[in-house]
Amino acid sequence: MQLLTGKEVTEAVYVDLKKKTIDFIEEHGFAPTLAVILVGNDPASQSYVKGKKKACISLGFGHRDYSLPEDTSQEELLSLVKTLNADSSVHGILVQLPLPKGLDENLVIATIDSRKDVDGFHPETVGKLLIGLPCFVSCTPKGVLEILDYYKIETQGKHVVVLGRSNIVGKPMAALLMQKGRDATVTVCHSKTKNLKEITKLADILISAIGKPFFVTADMVKPDSVIIDVGINRIEDATQKRGYRLVGDVDFEHVKENCLAITPVPGGVGVMTIAMLMKNTFQAAMQLSQKDNQ
């Protein structure tokens, strides 16, 4: 069994990005810059935002943090997004989700300039992804592809089963894998899928993104399969200082004995997400600086 660690892949991504960032700054006189908007005081969201800021600093990126109160109005939030759209010194814009109740996430995402949509959630971005045009790929699916590429796991002609149909992971993951160049045969399963175990046991590559701890058991996978666990779930654990620990959708300890390769949780796909956000931000800075020079 091969362990597919996101940490190893992330380190390789960051080494490459640091070199490219130094060259970019020397050429343009400014750094790729990410603006992150956080509304409210959700602890998990605050933690994610801190991680993104830390990554920006380590790479030499510029970063703008906007922390707005829980009672921020739709108009105030949209006004800030539009201001950042017009700010040429900002190359990527990310609004941390979920937003507090009363705020329209879809409207906020659609208001972000698609050229700065480094999260890959804008409707225009999603449309381009579906028909195979160049675009920002949402960070978690992009991280999965980066892991597959790093470990030289072939997708061409393989049967990939995706558990989950979310807009953030499941749908873009399936769309990416069926594109020319990836050439996988993709089956998407969800809560209404019948005979799920029979389907997952046909998978050459099984990607789980359903948010249910230990859902994928050893009897659901075939021995020569590759298991990509996107799930990050909190379960109570009195032995931990925090009172909980993070686990995936996959029953790792048992499944690892019955597969060819597997990602751990934590330390697998999760750590890739911010790395891919940084890659998208650098890409945005490159594209916007090129247009400015034309």
- Output the CA–CA distances (angstroms, integers) from residue 201 to 73, 82, 149, 212, in the order listed: 48, 48, 23, 18
Q: Catalytic site residues?
A: 52, 96, 119
59 and 31 in contact (C-beta within 8 Å)? no
34 and 63 in contact (C-beta within 8 Å)? yes
Greatest Cα pair distance in the chain: 59
185-189: strand order across its sheet: 2-3, 261-262, 226-229, 205-208, 159-163, 185-189
> What are the residues facing 205 on neighbouring strands?
160, 226
The DSSP code for 250 is B
Peptide bond between residue 213 and the one before it cis (omega within 30 degrees of 0): no
Classify 216 as helix, strand or coil: strand
Q: Which residue has the tokens 């906007």?
A: 66
Q: Which helix (H) or strand (E) holds 208?
A: strand 205-208
162 and 140 in contact (C-beta within 8 Å)? no
The Cα 90–Cα 235 span in angstroms is 38
